[in-house]
């Protein structure tokens, strides 16, 4: 089975999407397929024919303007090694699109599928709070 993750990274050279566990556990490979959060390491590329796929490369507002979540990660130091960061950002963008004013619990829940092995959770959490404040 050819995985969507490999096609993105190796054929399309969209290397912003990362591989962590390769088993659907860490969220590093998160992308949006037709607006739904998906772990691309679990998706056979054949299944997504005709779907719209958005990766971290497509999250910025424009070439000169980052998404508020990306800007907040920079301002709050939300990235350490950066492996989890694209997935975290996409999860946060998805959360805020569905719920622009999440509670702290809703933020934690929205990021629950994404693991950070650098254990930078506090700064990641603060980044999402900052993004909500706009």
Q: Name the residues that contact ligand FES, by CB under 6 A.
A: 19-22, 24-29, 39, 41, 79-85, 116-118, 120
The residue with tokens 């709070």 is 129
Give the shortest CB-40-to-ligand FES separation in angstroms. 7
CB-wise, 7 or 21, nearer to ligand FES? 21
Comparing C-alpha atoms, which of 4, 14, 127 is closest to residue 75? 127
- Cβ closest to ligand FES, residue 27 vs residue 134: 27
Contact by Cβ (8 Å): 82, 101: no
Nearest approach, Cβ of 62 to ligand FES (angstroms)? 26
Closer to ligand FES by Cβ: residue 2 or 61? 2
Give least dist CB 121 to ligand FES, A. 9
Q: Could you tell me whether strands 36-39 and 53-54 are parallel, antiparallel, or unpaired per DSSP bridges? A: unpaired
Give the strands of the sheet with 30-33, arranged side by side.
36-39, 30-33, 53-54
Q: Tell the residue number behind the tokens 């990641």, with chain if given.
A: 124
In the bound state with ligand FES, the residue whose beta carbon lies nearer, of 46 and 63, is 46
**Shortest distance, CB of residue 28 to ligand FES, whole angstroms?**
5
Gap between the Cα atoms of 80 and 71, Å rounded: 15
């Amino acid at each position: 089975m050819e995985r969507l993750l490999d096609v993105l990274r190796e054929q399309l050279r969209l290397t912003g999407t990362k591989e962590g566990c390769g088993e659907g556990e860490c969220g590093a490979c998160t992308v949006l397929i037709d607006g739904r959060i998906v772990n691309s390491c679990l998706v056979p590329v054949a299944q997504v024919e005709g779907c719209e796929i958005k990766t971290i490369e497509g999250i910025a507002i424009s070439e000169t303007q980052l998404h508020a979540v990306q800007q907040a990660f920079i301002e709050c130091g939300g990235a350490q090694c950066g492996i989890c960061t694209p997935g975290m950002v996409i999860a946060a963008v998805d959360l805020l699109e569905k719920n622009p004013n999440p509670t702290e619990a809703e933020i934690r829940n929205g990021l629950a599928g994404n693991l950070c092995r650098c254990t930078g959770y506090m700064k990641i959490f603060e980044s999402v709070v900052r993004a909500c404040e706009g």
